[in-house]
Amino acid sequence: MKELKRIRSKVDLAINGANPTFNEPIHVGRPNIGDRELFISYVNDIFDRKWLSNNGPLVEQLEARIEGLLGVKHCVAMCNGTIALEIAIRALDLSGEVIVPSYTFIATAHALSWQGITPVFADIDAATHTLDPDAVRHMITPRTTGILATHLWGTPCDIAALQEIADEHGLKLIFDAAHAFLSSYGDRMIGGFGDAEIFSFHATKFFNTFEGGCVTTNDDDLANTMRLMRNFGFAGLDNVVHLGTNGKLTEICAAMGLVNLDMVDEVIDANRGNYEVYRDGLAPIDGLNVLPVDDRGRSNYQYVVLEVDQAFPATRDTIVEALHAENILARRYFWPGCHQMKPYRELYPHAGLVLPHTQAVADRVIVLPTGTTLPSDALETIRAVCLALAGS
Ligand code: T4K
């Protein structure tokens, strides 16, 4: 195998004209893929059964396994996390204004706007990057019907404080838990909090079903409504009893989920190992901080979040540029914040005034690659790039 270039100082960096360290791109969000033989045997079963979609037996198995893992009454599988958000929002009858973080993936805000609901952006806590309950209080108006909070990076929100606010003001509370599959809040798994929680099983998530997602809830009526909504409102042949859409998960996606569920512990262990190497390697460098994982509960370690502050001699964007030049495609998630993306920037040109932490955090974060397929020398290269940029 070709020996990798060694980075000892700035002149060795590809950004300064040297060859890149890696020939192939190293992505954030490279899929973790379980046992191929088992997957293919599921596919053969699907073909033999000739049942490809519409709540097939593999979808039912996947739902039951997730309910067991999360300790929640209902898992309603969906074709992706965004449709899962939209269906949950609609089934809960949200309208008017809903309070959301701006520092989240754009789907959180879009799922509301898509349905004519105004997303009202509230600021985050700078230490955890999740919605700040005090900021939420300030954004409540007579039109507010709910709070949609993201467990960003798999870190649970301050659920107790948000639930208290929701109860006090008669608001619905739902969680975008797209990052938080198999994370816990204390000793309770994420999945059973608020009125509903929404997961994404997109290819780039540590647990994936190609595309997919689900809503989990302990509310029987809500689960029933969402099951109708994901299948056009059909309650048996020729009988539509509810407004609905097509949110169904296919059997092939469910098969991928069943296979990948068998390896989630292995993926979490690999990600924990990567996180620890990054933390130990980067923490001693002045101006860099690997966001600590919340150790009050269980974490899925799915994102490694590096924060760059003023003490570092190069900007966050220079680090990203230098890593990209080495073919390490680190990301600036979720820069610049939803409020600065065109559809929302025009709606709220002054939103930044009430989102100081969102803006500061969005300007300093780099998400680093992790996962089971990450070559170990990528971790060392990232450290070497940072050291070279720091001039040490
Ligand atoms: N809420 C939150 C908080 C979310 O983070 C997300 C999704 C959602 C809701 C919505 O859930 P879904 O409707 O997606 O189920 C990616 C994902 O597409 C998106 O699912 C995810 N969040 C977000 C955080 O990241 P992009 O636009 O940054 O990157 P993408 O999809 O192009 O993939 C990133 C990199 O991964 C690529 O450069 C290449 C690599 N990759 C990607 C795919 C799809 C692979 O190596 N193999 C692949 O199959 O959004």
What is the average pLDDT value for the chain, to the nearest integer? 96
Phi, psi of 298 (to 5 degrees): -90, 145
DSSP per residue, 67-121: HHHHT-SEEEEESSHHHHHHHHHHHTT--SEEEEESSS-HHHHHHHHTTTPEEEE
Confidence tier at 209 by pLDDT (50, 70, 90): very high
Rg from Cα positions in the chain: 22
Instruction: Indicate if ligand 1 lies below 6 Å from the C-beta of 101.
Output: no
Rounded Cα–Cα distance for residues 78 and 238 (Å):
22
pLDDT tens-digit series, residues 237-273: 999 999 999 999 999 999 999 999 999 999 999 999 9
Residue 293 has what DSSP assignment? P
pLDDT tens-digit series, residues 74-133: 999 999 999 999 999 999 999 999 999 999 999 999 999 999 999 999 999 999 999 999
Element (DSSP H or E) covering residue 6: none
For Cα atoms 196, 251, 75, give the angle at the middle one, nearest 5 degrees: 15
Cβ contact 379:278 at 8 Å: yes
Rounded Cα–Cα distance for residues 89 and 313 (Å):
44
Report CA-CA distances (Å) from 171 to 143, 148, 151, 165: 10, 10, 19, 8
pLDDT tens-digit series, residues 86-103: 999 999 999 999 999 999
Instruction: Indicate if ligand 1 lies below 6 Å from the C-beta of 27.
Output: yes
Write down the pLDDT at residue 324. Answer: 98
Q: Determine how many CB atoms are found less than 10 A away from the CB of residue 65.
A: 15
Which residue, judged by its Cα, is nearest atom 27 of ligand 1? 105
Instruction: Indicate if ligand 1 lies below 6 Å from the C-beta of 332.
Output: no
pLDDT tens-digit series, residues 164-184: 999 999 999 999 999 999 999
Write down the pLDDT at residue 2. Answer: 65
Confidence tier at 392 by pLDDT (50, 70, 90): low
Confidence tier at 135 by pLDDT (50, 70, 90): very high
DSSP per residue, 214-251: EEEES-HHHHHHHHHHTBTTBSSTT-B-S---B-PPPH
338, 261, 258: which is closest to 41 by C-alpha? 258
Rounded Cα–Cα distance for residues 31 and 389 (Å):
30
pLDDT at 384 over 90: yes
Confidence tier at 368 by pLDDT (50, 70, 90): very high
Question: How far is the first Cα of the chain from the last one, in angstroms, to the nearest whole number?
Answer: 29
Rounded Cα–Cα distance for residues 201 and 208 (Å):
4
What phi-psi label fits residue 26: left (phi over 0), alpha (psi between -120 and 50 degrees) or beta?
beta
Instruction: Indicate if ligand 1 lies below 6 Å from the C-beta of 209.
Output: no
Q: Which atom of ligand 1 is nearest to the CA of 30?
A: 46
Instruction: Indicate if ligand 1 lies below 6 Å from the C-beta of 178.
Output: yes
Mean pLDDT of 310-329: 97
Instruction: Indicate if ligand 1 lies below 6 Å from the C-beta of 208.
Output: no
DSSP-derived 3-state class of residue 331 = strand
* Long-range contacts of residues 241-246, Cβ cutoff 8 Å, at least 24 apart: 245/83, 245/86, 245/87, 246/79
Residue 244: HSE in the Cβ half-sphere, 13 Å Cα cutoff: 20
Residue 138 burial (CB < 10 Å; 0-12/13-18/19+)? exposed
Which residue, judged by its Cα, is nearest atom 46 of ligand 1? 30
pLDDT tens-digit series, residues 44-63: 999 999 999 999 999 999 99
For Cα atoms 169, 171, 172, give the angle at the middle one, nearest 5 degrees: 160
pLDDT at 1 over 70: no
Instruction: Indicate if ligand 1 lies below 6 Å from the C-beta of 369.
Output: no
Q: Which atom of ligand 1 is nearest to the CA of 85?
A: 9
Q: Which residues of 326-352 are buried (b: 16+ CB within 10 A; e: fewer)?
A: bbbbbbebbbbbbbbeeebeeebeebb
Residues 72/74/76/80 CA torsion (nearest 10 deg): -10
